[in-house]
Structure 1
């Protein structure tokens, strides 16, 4: 599990809140990658787009449609934040697949902050837009009156569990994939099983590329679902 250890970049062993670390470096590279693709890659705004502009436009349209389809047209005003989340997670996941790289999204400290930002953001938005009517999210009016209090407690618990499941899903999947690759890499040094190990690493690496995108997609979809609940809290 040494590949997941957060280490200072400039010597020393202690990590403080202000210490530049490998996690800081790779998050900064992720932000830089997003900026290069979405800002530098599209600044020409060519009629016939190049590769960078084509990918940027594809990502833009993909996330925009996701927000509109899931949360509704009134959620489009929050598209920039959701787009930022998606692109940051995608780049962090993909950069983490580079040999000797560090994957920030394999740490619950990173995914937890992202999930809590979404949780507090949509909760505050719900109360700002609807006031106490936002609590209607927990009151299932379509259910028989006798069981509504029980369902309200269940809904309330599930609501506060959201940031936990939202963050653990992403961090757990990224950590598990990298750990499996490392296990097979250890067997690659044994001559007898080396060919099998190399084939396994190749297959898992391909799967990890898919997982890196899917986990960003799932995180974004759940963000859109939570945003929809804030905009339209009634069952």
Structure 2
């Protein structure tokens, strides 16, 4: 049996990823800050787990409660401030980095002992095409039409952080995915993709074998060349 932990799994992409991996036979722990919001995850058959990715003690407690771990999906994320260049400050950047980037380090570090005990450890970090320079500079892509200092910068950091983890954890498969422009609360349900389409890449990387790719960036259509 494959045991999977998903952060930010109370709704949207995290909840849909939980649903699909449960269907694939995984034992899923649905991490969320407020377990009162875990009704939908519990109804699917996931184990609802109190996990505030911005709090070291919460992370340590959550990981300590797991019997084992094979797959870690760092999905939790926020948009952060929409302030323009004249108002956006260092505190605004720090706030979005705390959830979108620093949390990956918190949770991954705490989970490493369990992942090292797995015969097929996989880490999937949810980034975005909005943090991928080639996409945001291509006028043919929607990512080039959207600006912002916080969210985009944080997702660029996630891509590089994952690359470095993949080099430093050669026995594990560590990959980044771009869900694509998906209809979720994060974007006011403006995205054209369904949550099922938006989780294709995460599910694919969560189910690879020990000889699967590592250090990659992919979307639902497959690997994306750096």
Could you state the TM-score of these two structures normalised by the residue count of structure 1? 0.25
**Higher relative contact order by CA 8 Å / sep ≥ 6: 1 or 2?**
1
Q: Write 1 or 2 for the structure with the bigger share of strand.
A: 2
Could you state the TM-score of these two structures normalised by the residue count of structure 2? 0.25
Larger radius of gyration: 1
